[in-house]
């Protein structure tokens, strides 16, 4: 019988739980809103404890909203740390799941998890250096290099890149830390604040969409300059707006202006900036891969 894993995508607005051996066979899946840690993680535990003829996951993985502590040597490893989200600061997610479910628990950021999912099974299978960006309620980015999620001092926080001023834009931005960073100027709530109504209600030819595409293209140009990824997968609710990614690609090629002399920044940009191959499951399937690796690690096997 195939080994079953549990994947958990912990987002700021919703949680997704998935049970299965991999993306081709999903035994069970559930989505519910993110409320308090007690209630939300209680539902996660209940999902994996549900009687299914003795079918239980051998390990769990979590792709979590952050910031989170990914340093195994730290006393707060496995915690969500300084999040402004009410009730969630310094929540010990990994500790609670290990205690309640008694299996190894893998752990990374939502966007590193999504990058890992796309690298393993989705639109990044041939990319040795893959970036995943989400554009929705917030903007975040993670990376996988040579099959390993990127960690350093902490983990990437690609949403908070500094931005140039476009079109004498005077919108002050919505980021409480930086004001006019990429997230502050281009996340869903920024679009809504700028337009005075939800982004979904804007006409496709509203000039706000072109401005949005240009800010996102500057963000991708910055990521390209620093990391030189082989592919950028762009997920999230805002990014799925029809035509937006195509506009981002056009502006990215224009902004690069021939400097990075690669066809990926020219004729082949369609295969450089791409939609997720796993749809909305990049993060939760990445969590499944985190689970598989954590089980191998707990057994002293190579990942």
**Residues near its own copies, by CB under 8 A:** 67, 81-82, 128-129, 141, 145, 150-165, 177-178, 180, 218, 221-230, 255-262, 264, 272
Residue nearer to its own copies on the CB measure, 153 or 203? 153
How far apart CA 231 and CA 204 sit, in angstroms, is 27
21-42 burial code (b ≥16 CB/10 A, e <16): bbbeebeeeeeeebeebeebbe
User: What is the smallest separation between the CB atom of 153 and its own copies, expressed in angstroms?
Assistant: 5
- Give the whole-angstrom CA distance, residue 6 versus residue 51: 14
Q: Which of 81, 2, 110, 97 is nearest to 49 (CA)?
A: 97
Helix (H, G, I), strand (E, B), or coil: what is residue 24?
A: coil
Strand ranges of the sheet holding 14-20, from the earlier edge strand across to the other edge = 28-33, 14-20, 5-10, 59-64, 105-109
CB of 29 to its own copies, least distance (A): 31
Q: How far is the CB of 26 from its own copies (least distance, A)?
A: 32
Q: What is the CA radius of gyration of the chain?
A: 19
User: Is 284 strand, coil or helix?
Assistant: helix
Nearer to its own copies by C-beta: 74 or 200? 74
Shortest distance, CB of residue 265 to its own copies, whole angstroms? 8
Q: Smaller CB distance to its own copies: residue 133 or 199?
A: 133
DSSP 86: T
Residues 6+ apart with CB under 8 A from 255: 217, 218, 221
| Distance (Å, whole) CA 12 – CA 54 | 31
Min dist CB 39 to its own copies, Å, is 26
Backbone torsions φ then ψ of 178, nearest 5 degrees: -125, -5
Q: How far is the CB of 151 from its own copies (least distance, A)?
A: 7
Nearer to its own copies, 10 or 159 (CB): 159
Task: Assess whether the previous peptide bond of 67 is cis (omega < 30° from 0).
Answer: yes
CB of 126 to its own copies, least distance (A): 12
Spatial contact of 23 and 244, defined as CB atoms under 8 Å apart: no
Helix-, strand-, coil-residue percentages of the chain, each rounded to 5: 40, 20, 40
In the bound state with its own copies, the residue whose beta carbon lies nearer, of 6 and 229, is: 229
Residue closer to its own copies, measured from CB, 164 or 279: 164
Comparison of 262 and 298: residue with beta carbon closer to its own copies:
262
Q: Pick from 203, 288, 272: which is nearest to 232 by CA?
A: 272
Give the nearest distance from C-beta 4 to its own copies in angstroms: 32
Which of 7, 138 has the CB closer to its own copies? 138
């Amino acid at each position: 019988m195939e080994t079953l894993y549990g994947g958990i995508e912990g987002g700021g607005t919703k949680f997704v739980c998935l049970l299965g051996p991999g993306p081709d066979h999903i035994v069970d899946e559930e989505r519910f809103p993110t409320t308090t840690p007690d209630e939300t993680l209680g539902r996660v535990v209940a999902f994996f404890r549900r009687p299914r003829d003795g079918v239980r996951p051998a390990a769990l993985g979590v792709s979590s909203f952050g910031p989170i502590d990914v340093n195994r040597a730290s006393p707060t490893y496995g915690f969500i740390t300084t999040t402004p989200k009410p009730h969630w600061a310094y929540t010990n997610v990994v500790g609670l799941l290990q205690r309640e479910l008694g299996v190894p628990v893998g752990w990374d950021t939502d966007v590193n998890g999504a990058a890992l999912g796309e690298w393993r099974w989705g639109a990044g299978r041939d990319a040795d250096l893959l970036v995943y960006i989400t554009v929705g309620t917030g903007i975040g980015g993670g990376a996988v290099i040579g099959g390993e999620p990127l960690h350093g001092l902490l983990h990437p926080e690609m949403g908070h890149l500094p931005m140039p001023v476009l079109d004498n834009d005077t919108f002050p931005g919505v980021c409480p830390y930086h004001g006019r960073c990429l997230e502050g100027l281009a996340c869903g709530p920024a679009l809504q604040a700028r337009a005075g109504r939800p982004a979904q209600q804007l006409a496709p030819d509203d000039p706000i969409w072109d401005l949005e595409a240009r800010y996102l293209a500057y963000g991708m140009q910055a990521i390209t300059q620093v990391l030189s990824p082989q592919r950028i997968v762009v997920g999230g609710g805002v990014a799925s707006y029809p035509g937006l990614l195509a506009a981002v690609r056009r502006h990215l090629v224009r902004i690069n202006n021939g400097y990075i002399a690669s066809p990926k920044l020219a004729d082949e940009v369609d295969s450089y900036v791409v939609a997720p191959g796993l749809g909305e499951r990049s993060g939760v399937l990445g969590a499944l891969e985190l689970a598989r690796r954590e089980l191998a690690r707990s057994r002293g096997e190579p990942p």
